[in-house]
């Protein structure tokens, strides 16, 4: 199976390249950052939790902001601005003497202007017949960037120090933003300029949009409930150390890149519902194997399948993107993305509480939930009953002046 880079046009290849470079820079320190906070800055677990919660909250809030401005201004410039917001973050981390001084960097690190903006840009620019594959190929750029960078960052930190790692990340973030500067500009249709369209509050009254948002928020909640607990489980249940846990993490990112391409092709050929169902089924199988055995070879196969949990956001983008009327596409997309982000903020705390009761319970719950979500996505009668998916009405037939009252039957992933 060759890497299907041909599915991307010139502008999408630039997004792929930017993500690959930026993800490599991000991976240099992201895996090490909690350890750095604890050991170097002497931050407590509660203080580290506050920092990461602030980052997640910032991400959720900026998704709404991006959705509001990406339909009014050049989407390319907003995507570039998203990278520029990240550029100072590693420099702030390198100069911080305590956890309080990390706060500005963590806020900037949470700025996510590229969420609905890049989704809208990709949907408008991509081949509509290969849209799922387009999203998963672009998503794979992040996975490829993360496969080796944590190990490289750890090596550099050990030999030279974390400050050198932060400087490298700073430069790679800047290069990632520079690459996007060579993309073509993209604006929503000019009719947007004559009316602001429905407000975010009005969109929240659209039952179809909220049903779809709830479905994907459920997926994000379940995946984020168990995923942060996996390294701790490997240590507690099987007494694995940093090397084995790091190795399995790299396998998961490799799996996400490979499975993303496979499921992208499945989604475009047979329907996006089957790609989502396969992704959730793979998560369930991987967790089952992990609970049954601590054998490293078996876990390697399991963590390859775990990579499917990293592509749910790109599958969500492939589904919601085409549903949105073009004049308000970014604002429309920002609704399910924001709701899903808030679900992902809450999930780790609930998972942690359940983990305290039994280290097995979060994963047992996730296995059942993933199978339920797979069934929901794959059975037409269930989908129609939920009102999540239905027939797609071309956006040219939609009145964006009255979007909150649209009776759009969402496309059944075909």
Are 262 and 155 in a shared domain? no
For residues 261 and 125, state if they share a domain: no
Q: Which of 186, 205, 235 is the last residue of a domain?
A: 186
- The reply to whether 90 and 165 lie within a common domain is yes
Q: Is the pLDDT of residue 135 over 90?
A: no
Cα separation, 142 vs 365, whole angstroms: 28
pLDDT of residue 21: 94
* Of 41-55, 113-127, 171-185, 379-393, minimum mean pLDDT range: 379-393
Q: 393 and 267 share a domain?
A: yes
Q: Is residue 106 part of a domain?
A: yes
Instruction: Please tell me whether residues 280 and 144 are part of one structural domain.
Output: no
Percent of the chain with pLDDT over 90: 25
Q: Same domain for 161 and 208?
A: no
pLDDT above 80 for 291? yes
pLDDT per residue as tens digits for the range 8-21: 889 999 999 999 99
Answer yes or no: do 361 and 249 share one domain: yes
Domain that holds residue 268: 197-414
Q: What per-residue confidence (pLDDT) applies to 305?
A: 93
| pLDDT band at residue 286 under the 50/70/90 scheme | very high
- Average pLDDT on 323-332 reads 71
Calculate the average pLDDT of the chain: 80
| Length of the chain in terms of residues written | 414
Q: Are residues 252 and 201 in the same domain?
A: yes
Confidence bin at 383 (pLDDT 50/70/90): very low
Mean pLDDT over 333-347 rounds to: 82
Residue ending a domain, choose from 186, 208, 242: 186
pLDDT, mean of residues 186-195? 61
| 266 plus 386 within the same structural domain | yes
Residues 99, 206, single domain; the answer is: no
Last residue of a domain, one of 122, 151, 186: 186
253: in domain:
yes
191 part of a folded domain: no
Cβ atoms 2, 132 nearer than 8 A? no
Residue 165, domain member (yes or no): yes
Residue 409 has pLDDT above 80, yes or no: no
Tell whether 383 is covered by a domain: yes
Whether 339 is in a domain gets the answer yes
> Do 156 and 133 sit in the same domain of this protein?
yes
Q: In the structure, what pLDDT confidence band is assigned to residue 341 with cuts at 50, 70 and 90? A: confident
288 and 404: one domain? yes
CA 251 to each of CA 180, 238, 259, 277: distance values in angstroms, whole numbers, following the listed order: 29, 18, 12, 22
Asked, for residue 192, whether it belongs to a domain, the answer is: no
Q: Which pLDDT value is given to residue 388?
A: 45
Residue 292 placed within a domain: yes
Q: Are 141 and 16 in contact (CB under 8 A)?
A: yes
Is pLDDT larger for residue 198 or for residue 400?
198
Residue range 23-56, pLDDT digits in tens? 999 988 887 788 788 888 888 877 887 888 888 8
Q: How many distinct structural domains can be found in the chain?
A: 2
What CATH number has the domain bearing residue 99? 1.20.1250.20
Q: Which of 305, 165, 313 is nearest to 248 (CA)?
A: 305
């Amino acid at each position: 199976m060759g890497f299907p880079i041909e599915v991307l046009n010139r502008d999408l290849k630039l997004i792929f390249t930017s993500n690959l470079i930026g993800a490599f820079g991000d991976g240099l320190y992201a895996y090490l950052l909690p350890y750095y906070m604890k050991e170097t800055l002497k931050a407590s677990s509660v203080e580290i939790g506050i920092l990461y919660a602030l980052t997640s909250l910032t991400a959720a809030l900026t998704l709404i902001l991006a959705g509001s401005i990406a339909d009014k201004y050049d989407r390319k410039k907003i995507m570039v601005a998203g990278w520029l917001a990240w550029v100072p973050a590693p420099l702030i981390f390198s100069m911080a003497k305590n956890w309080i001084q990390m706060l500005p960097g963590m806020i900037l690190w949470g700025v996510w202007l590229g969420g609905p903006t890049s989704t809208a840009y990709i949907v408008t620019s991509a081949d509509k017949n290969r849209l799922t594959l387009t999203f998963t190929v672009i998503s794979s750029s992040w996975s490829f960037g993360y496969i080796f960078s944590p190990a490289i960052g750890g090596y550099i930190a050990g030999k030279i120090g974390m400050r050198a790692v932060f400087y490298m990340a700073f430069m790679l973030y800047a290069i990632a933003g520079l690459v996007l500067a060579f993309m073509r500009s993209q604006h929503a249709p000019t009719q947007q300029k004559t009316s602001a369209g429905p407000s975010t509050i009005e969109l929240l009254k659209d039952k179809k949009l909220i049903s779809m948002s709830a479905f994907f928020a459920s997926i994000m909640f379940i995946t984020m409930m168990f995923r942060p607990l996996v390294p701790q489980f490997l240590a507690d249940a099987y007494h694995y150390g940093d090397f084995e846990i790091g190795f399995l993490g790299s396998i998961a990112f490799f799996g996400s890149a490979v499975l993303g391409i496979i499921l992208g092709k499945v989604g475009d050929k047979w329907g996006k519902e089957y790609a989502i169902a396969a992704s959730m089924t793979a998560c369930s199988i991987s967790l089952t194997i992990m609970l049954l055995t601590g054998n490293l070879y078996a876990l390697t196969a399991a963590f390859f399948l775990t990579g499917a949990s990293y592509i749910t956001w790109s599958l969500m983008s492939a589904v919601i993107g085409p549903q949105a009327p073009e004049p308000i596409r970014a604002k429309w997309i920002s609704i399910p993305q924001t709701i899903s982000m808030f679900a992902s903020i809450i999930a780790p705390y609930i998972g942690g509480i359940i983990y305290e009761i039994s280290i097995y319970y979060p994963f047992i719950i996730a296995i059942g939930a993933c199978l339920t979500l797979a069934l929901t996505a794959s059975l037409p009668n269930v989908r129609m009953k939920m009102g999540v998916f239905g027939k797609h009405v071309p956006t040219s037939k939609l009145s964006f002046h009255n979007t909150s009252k649209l009776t759009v039957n969402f496309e059944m992933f075909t």
